[in-house]
Chains A and B, each alone.
Chain A
């Protein structure tokens, strides 16, 4: 792979990106703290003012003092911030379990679900895009061209319920009570796949259409290249960039999708943890969810930015040529495409449309 290795990153670029990531994290953490503080009721209320317990207001107040929840918002914010900086996520107020324990149980399950769902979504998107653009019949292309719009309009919770009803309760193919690990994954991953694949497929279809219309494609075809060769060597590579950007952005969708999917299927995971934490005003858990998912989002998108030059040779510039090394992927893409050594500037334009 040495031929396609991206140029060495400059220190300034790396520092800049890390700085940006930290800033995003800090803003997310602060915003989340403020919003949670504004919500009516707090975790002490949610847990101890529950009428099932029938504690007197004085008893609740005592617990509030004991747990430190009586201090002002800012004091609590600072304590939590200090905790997060030292890697201590604190304890769930609703259950008392350590947030790190809750995460240790939830993260692998969600990662497995997200990975399978995303992989399935990518496969589905590629299949849909190919059928919509290279399909043999016109009607076939028309049908698959419409699939992304259909997929994006299907509510995830509804889809989940229908899948469970049909495949588990009607056909009995998958058990919800005693599933094998694969069984436990397949329906949730399908549920997650559908809304994820829609934007990917849509962007791929448009990219392929546009790349195919480029003059260089006609030239290559005239030189005798077959459809298959063209697809793999010329079109796929050019059309992949916008789709990759899209994949990074849909990571946010994954987190949201996990909330619905894990709730419907009763799976352990970050999504299920989040929905329960919201119901219980469990701020330590919610803050950890916000910070961890923001961190993941930032990392994934950083990784994708770094992947661009691997895929697109036009984006490989020696450090010296680089006009603005601190730019984000999208920007460097645009900056670089001006001096591209291969076909046209079309991918960059679509990149904007796709994002």
Chain B
């Protein structure tokens, strides 16, 4: 659990030494192991925690208040410097058995946009959908294995994976009282598999080749596909296939948007109680909930009475709310703040996203990148370890493959992305790019100048790219970072002229994830598919990607995924940087927090250590 960097704590130089040492234990002890990622279960006592609670005497508090006034005058731009002076969280961090009751206050950086399940990949959407809707199957976030949920057993699948038969658990109801039966499931999948252009509802990207559903009896339903679709079993376990009531399924795109949240009816452990447009949303526990995944030890109603989801666009406000105890949990803690939060006694949970690593796709159709030697030079020029040590923490492991090590289809590539600037120079010389005295290499009068997108959803993309820029400049490649907001970046990313290096990642706990990233009809990260000519620049790559989703058996899919990865590595098309987590910050009173397989919060198992006390005080605590 050693950290590569010393936790700097500028605002509080006279900190007693013991707490600093203890802060390193503030994060879950099991963070490093794949099985433990994403869960904050009570797992063994952390020695020394409660004994270090004696810091918040009234005397030290007033000293802290004085320091906060000083901080104001000196440089209050650093909001954390101010909030660093708040009372540290000294609640016991572990132990006890789950208590029922209490409302969890959770800050999300963005407002949700839609609750149409195929479109809930956006974090704030998924954070809601994952808690209000059940699915046919449940995917264990640590092993990625599928288990029964609304389906009482795993589906029967025919040999070529074109027909899936599910037997449903009896007695499940939506919160409006309507039954979750075979006809209802069929209506859900018909919409998610086919979409409805008239209502501007696109199909789910996870469901391919869907033909139709068929109700065999009230508890049995079969789905047919025009081509092998082995990914379907996993696809019905994700929040993009959340099961909604019949009435909800008749809504159009507008009807799934903000303002309608409390009319999105499903069968999950929580229901949307109310929303304030763009600022907050309340989830209320369903006390008659009795169909949790049988695999979970916890059954029946959720422990929490509710969750208050508050949109806090301003980062310093989110962190300040957590540090001051007004918030119980926040999504997205920036890497530089992790150490400071753990020093305050708060806990950091890094949830794995189990997909394509945070990486740079080199768009080979562009003339400057069509020469493999140039792409290899780019790879050799970039010092990935420097990026990680300068900008990130242990929660961001160096990528060892195209996929994260916990993803399905992961293949390890040792030495594929070695840092060797001298080699980069030799490769560029060989490719005919000469330095001619200038800073940027030229060939036939053209400069070796590329542009990369600023991946706003990815952590510190701009800082990462600034370091890449430095590395590339050393070998004579000019890199510019595309300016603009989210909509501009998304629009530019589709154009080879605007963006030649594409920085992105995808989380999805299935073999198909690699297809989601690189296939021409999906994200098309390499721009392998030319939308104008409707042709593939590398048809072989697309063929390999197709195999990933059409091989009926798991071994075949793994082999297909490996073949894609081999090709991407052999042709030097991708430079993976790190495995991207979703990082949450918590007060210590929050227990049992877990995420689903791509890092969206699941509050079903979450409970509050002081739920009883709070119930007496009435309502959410101040």
A residues with a Cβ closer than 8 A to B are: 39-43, 45-59, 62-63, 66-67, 91-92, 94-98, 101-102, 105-106, 157-158, 160-162, 164-166, 168-172, 175-178, 263-268, 272-273, 275-276, 278-281
B486 at the A/B interface (Cβ < 8 Å)? yes
Residues of A within 8 A of B77 (CB): 158
Q: A45-B487, A50-B490, A54-B523 are in contact. Are A92 and B257 (CB under 8 A)?
A: yes
Which of B76, B113, B308, B320 lies in contact with A169, CB distance below 8 A?
Answer: B320
Residues of B within 8 A of A177 (CB): 105, 308, 310, 321, 326-327, 620, 622
Interface string of B243-273 (1 = CB under 8 A from A): 0000000001111111110000000000000
Q: Report B295-311 residues with CB < 8 Å from chain A CB.
A: 308, 310-311
Residues of B within 8 A of A42 (CB): 487
Interchain CB contact under 8 A, A169 and B324: yes
Interchain CB contact under 8 A, A263 and B490: no
Interchain CB contact under 8 A, A166 and B490: no
B residues with a Cβ closer than 8 A to A are: 65, 68, 72, 76-77, 79, 82-83, 85-86, 105, 111, 113-114, 118-119, 121-122, 195, 197-198, 200, 202-203, 205, 252-260, 276-280, 308, 310-314, 316-317, 320-321, 323-324, 326-327, 457, 484-488, 490-494, 504, 506, 516, 520-523, 531, 619-620, 622
Report B234 CB to chain A, min CB distance, Å.
16
Q: Give the complex CA separation of A36 and B277 in angstroms.
A: 24
Residues of A within 8 A of B260 (CB): 97
Interchain CB contact under 8 A, B313 and A266: yes
Q: Give the complex CA separation of A162 and B317 in angstroms.
A: 10
Q: Give the complex CA separation of A54 and B509 in angstroms.
A: 16
Closest to B118 in A: A53
Interchain CB contact under 8 A, B486 and A46: yes
Counting chain A CB atoms within 10 Å of each CB, which of B311, B457, B484, B491 scores highest? B491
Report A346 CB to chain B, min CB distance, Å.
41
Interchain CB contact under 8 A, A266 and B312: yes
Interchain CB contact under 8 A, A266 and B317: yes
Q: Give the complex CA separation of A265 and B432 in angstroms.
A: 55
Q: A57-B531, A169-B324 are in contact. Are A279 and B278 (CB under 8 A)?
A: no
Q: Give the complex CA separation of A124 and B253 in angstroms.
A: 47
Interchain CB contact under 8 A, A51 and B83: no
Interchain CB contact under 8 A, A168 and B320: yes
Interchain CB contact under 8 A, A54 and B516: yes
Closest to A91 in B: B254
Q: Give the complex CA separation of A172 and B396 in angstroms.
A: 34
Q: A55-B202, A177-B105, A276-B111 are in contact. Are A166 and B308 (CB under 8 A)?
A: no
Q: A63-B200, A281-B487 are in contact. Are A169 and B321 (CB under 8 A)?
A: yes
Q: Give the complex CA separation of A117 and B231 in angstroms.
A: 56
Counting chain B CB atoms within 10 Å of each CB, which of A157, A266, A280 scores highest? A266
Interchain CB contact under 8 A, A279 and B486: yes
Q: A91-B254, A97-B257, A165-B320 are in contact. Are A49 and B490 (CB under 8 A)?
A: yes
Q: Give the complex CA separation of A40 and B326 in angstroms.
A: 39
Residues of A within 8 A of B114 (CB): 95-96
Q: Give the complex CA separation of A172 and B65 in angstroms.
A: 12
8 interchain pairs (CB within 8 A)? A41-B490, A63-B202, A92-B257, A92-B258, A97-B258, A164-B317, A165-B316, A266-B311
Q: A48-B202, A102-B259, A106-B277 are in contact. Are A166 and B72 (CB under 8 A)?
A: yes
Which of B254, B276, B488 lies in contact with A105, CB distance below 8 A?
Answer: B276
Question: Given A170-B68, A263-B314, 8 other A-B contacts at CB below 8 A?
Answer: A47-B113, A57-B531, A66-B198, A96-B254, A105-B259, A266-B312, A273-B278, A276-B111
Please list the 9 inter-chain residue pairs (A to B) with the smallest Cβ-Cβ separation, ordered nearest first.
Answer: A96-B257, A41-B491, A96-B254, A95-B257, A169-B324, A46-B487, A52-B121, A41-B487, A56-B521
Q: A170-B65, A176-B317, A268-B277 are in contact. Are A96 and B105 (CB under 8 A)?
A: no
Which of A97, A106, A264 lies in contact with B317, CB distance below 8 A?
Answer: A264
Residues of B within 8 A of A166 (CB): 68, 72, 82
Interchain CB contact under 8 A, B202 and A59: yes
Residues of B within 8 A of A43 (CB): 487
Q: A40-B491, A273-B278 are in contact. Are A176 and B316 (CB under 8 A)?
A: no
Interchain CB contact under 8 A, A170 and B85: yes
Q: A45-B487, A97-B258, A169-B83 are in contact. Are A268 and B276 (CB under 8 A)?
A: yes
Q: Give the complex CA separation of A15 and B65 in angstroms.
A: 60
Interchain CB contact under 8 A, B278 and A56: no
Residues of A within 8 A of B506 (CB): 51
Residues of B within 8 A of A62 (CB): 197
Interchain CB contact under 8 A, A105 and B313: no
Report A60 CB to chain B, min CB distance, Å.
9
Interchain CB contact under 8 A, B622 and A178: yes
Which of A95, A168, A175, A281 lies in contact with B113, CB distance below 8 A?
Answer: A95
Q: Give the complex CA separation of A105 and B275 in angstroms.
A: 11
Report A46 CB to chain B, min CB distance, Å.
4
Q: Give the complex CA separation of A53 and B195 in angstroms.
A: 13
Residues of B within 8 A of A106 (CB): 277
Residues of B within 8 A of A52 (CB): 119, 121-122, 457
Residues of B within 8 A of A178 (CB): 105, 308, 619-620, 622
Q: A95-B258, A102-B277 are in contact. Are A40 and B492 (CB under 8 A)?
A: yes
Interchain CB contact under 8 A, B326 and A279: no
Report A69 CB to chain B, min CB distance, Å.
11
Report A66 CB to chain B, min CB distance, Å.
5
Residues of A within 8 A of B276 (CB): 105, 268
Closest to B113 in A: A95
Residues of A within 8 A of B121 (CB): 52-53
Residues of A within 8 A of B457 (CB): 52
Residues of A within 8 A of B203 (CB): 59
